[in-house]
């Protein structure tokens, strides 16, 4: 269901149903255990990297990081060094940071401004559109065809002001790929939201350990007793599963009239509809982008594998009418409160990783509240190829009847 004014009554009916039910829905399947080896087995994790991470739409940054024609920044979160640049016409592009001569880097700092790229090793020169324009001692090359030596492009598309890249040249266009979510995200006016803050956290656990936690609210009463559990009603939460592994989770406030005191005085996004303005909605763009939106600012979370046993969490904020040149004490407080909640989620990660590697961890019996996690794993197997996943690591495909294609 869409979170618009026409469906407000239906949304509240669904919340009330979730609060009042004493069992999962009668037609909901018994979810088979998620095999534990999917979190620790090197061979499976190698398949995951090759077939999923290197072929997925992944958040790279915000257009505010490219303020001018020629502005660029370097990202390595995908596992490869990629330059994201605004060309002289204003188009955002992405290229591997790899000279087509002998593979040297074109840039060796994190960001900058340029009229083009020049390899520091042998001086090959490229335009901001990636075209080779000059080589040193051209006379010594035999039949060097410049048109065949352009920088290797990486798929790059915008979701409002959010930049996504994909190393798969044949990937489905981003808006088509996220399907029903694209239409719903239009209300957040993403193209006009400014970048407020971005910071990262290195964590000693497999990336899925932390990603799982942000796909459910089953843990609120244990981990967040003194923070979000005080105002969120996890029993009224409901989930929408979308094709391609994407999903949405909507959790009502304990009191319908409750407002986050940390947002008082902050500019609002006027186009947001009633349900997401008055409740807590979190979107998941598969595989690792989580966006718990609000009407006065939106945190953007990404979860990146840095090894089989470690990961990086990146937390960014975007908001309306934000001016980075001015002091913003309200934002300092809000980000500090958010970081406190984030640290609550991170606190047990190293110990969980230690436990996952022990003989005591065999698999995960997920419940109805945790079905977004199972949906994530089903999609992972589809992306790897169902017949390519070792049988002992495979998950059964059981949630197809609960996926909303948005066509109804």
- pLDDT at position 268 over 80: yes
Which residues have C-beta within 8 Å of that of residue 257, sequence separation ≥ 6?
Answer: none
User: What local confidence, expressed as pLDDT, does residue 382 receive?
Assistant: 98
Mean pLDDT of 195-217: 96
Which residues have C-beta within 8 Å of that of residue 109, sequence separation ≥ 6?
Answer: 74
User: What local confidence, expressed as pLDDT, does residue 9 receive?
Assistant: 87
Element counts in the chain: helices (H) and strands (E): 10, 19
Q: pTM for the whole thing? A: 0.95
Q: Encoding tokens for residue 194? A: 């400014």
Residue 117 DSSP SS3: strand
Q: Set out the domains of the chain in order of their start, with CATH numbers.
A: 5-54+193-402 (3.90.380.10), 58-159 (2.102.10.10)
Token pair 């799982």 is at which residue?
A: 212
Q: What angle do CA 226, 268, 196 make, to 5 degrees?
A: 70
Mean pLDDT of 311-322: 95
* CA–CA separation, 332 and 337 (whole Å): 9
- Mean of all residue pLDDT scores within the chain: 93
Mean pLDDT of 80-103: 97
User: What local confidence, expressed as pLDDT, does residue 177 receive?
Assistant: 98
Mean pLDDT of 196-221: 93
* Residue predicted with more confidence, 192 or 255: 192
CB 272 within 8 A of CB 188: yes
- pLDDT at position 399 over 70: yes
User: What local confidence, expressed as pLDDT, does residue 6 receive?
Assistant: 63
User: What local confidence, expressed as pLDDT, does residue 166 receive?
Assistant: 98
DSSP 231-265: TB-GGG-EEEE-GGG-EEEEE-BSSTT---GGGTT
76 falls in which pLDDT band (50, 70, 90)?
A: very high
């Amino acid at each position: 269901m869409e979170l618009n004014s026409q469906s407000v009554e239906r949304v509240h009916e669904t919340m009330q149903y979730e609060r009042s039910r004493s069992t999962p829905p009668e037609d909901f399947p018994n979810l088979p255990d998620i095999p534990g080896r999917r979190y620790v087995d090197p061979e499976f994790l190698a398949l995951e990297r090759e077939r999923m991470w290197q072929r997925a739409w992944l958040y790279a940054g915000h257009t505010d990081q490219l303020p001018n024609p020629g502005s660029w920044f370097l990202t390595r979160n995908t596992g490869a060094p990629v330059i994201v640049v605004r060309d002289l016409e204003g188009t955002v592009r992405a290229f591997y940071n790899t000279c087509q001569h002998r593979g040297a880097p074109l840039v060796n700092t994190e960001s900058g401004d340029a009229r083009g790229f020049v390899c520091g090793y042998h001086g090959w020169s490229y335009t901001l559109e990636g075209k080779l324009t000059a080589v040193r001692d051209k006379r010594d090359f035999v039949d060097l065809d410049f048109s065949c030596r352009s920088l290797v492009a990486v798929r790059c598309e915008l979701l409002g002001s959010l930049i996504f890249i994909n190393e798969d040249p044949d990937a489905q266009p981003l808006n088509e790929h996220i399907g029903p979510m694209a239409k719903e995200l239009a209300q957040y006016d993403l193209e006009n939201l400014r970048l407020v803050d971005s910071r990262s956290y290195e964590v000693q656990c497999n990336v899925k350990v932390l990603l799982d936690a942000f796909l459910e609210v089953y843990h609120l009463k244990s981990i967040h007793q003194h923070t979000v559990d005080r105002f969120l009603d996890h029993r009224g939460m409901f989930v929408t599963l979308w094709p391609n592994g994407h999903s949405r989770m909507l959790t009502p406030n304990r009191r319908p009239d409750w407002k986050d005191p940390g947002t008082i005085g902050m500019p609002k996004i006027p186009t947001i509809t009633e349900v997401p303005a008055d409740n807590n909605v979190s979107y998941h763009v598969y595989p690792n982008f989580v966006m718990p939106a609000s009407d006065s600012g939106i945190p953007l979370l990404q979860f990146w594998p840095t090894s089989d046993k470690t990961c990086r969490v990146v937390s960014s904020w975007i908001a309306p009418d934000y001016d980075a040149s001015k002091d913003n004490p309200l934002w300092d407080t809000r980000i500090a409160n958010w970081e406190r909640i984030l640290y609550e989620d991170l606190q047990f990660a190293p110990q969980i990783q230690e436990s996952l590697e022990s003989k005591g961890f065999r698999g995960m019996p997920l419940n109805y509240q945790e079905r977004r996690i199972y949906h994530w794993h089903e999609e992972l197997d589809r992306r790897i190829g169902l017949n390519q996943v070792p049988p002992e690591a495979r998950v059964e495909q059981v949630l197809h009847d609960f996926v909303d294609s948005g066509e109804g």
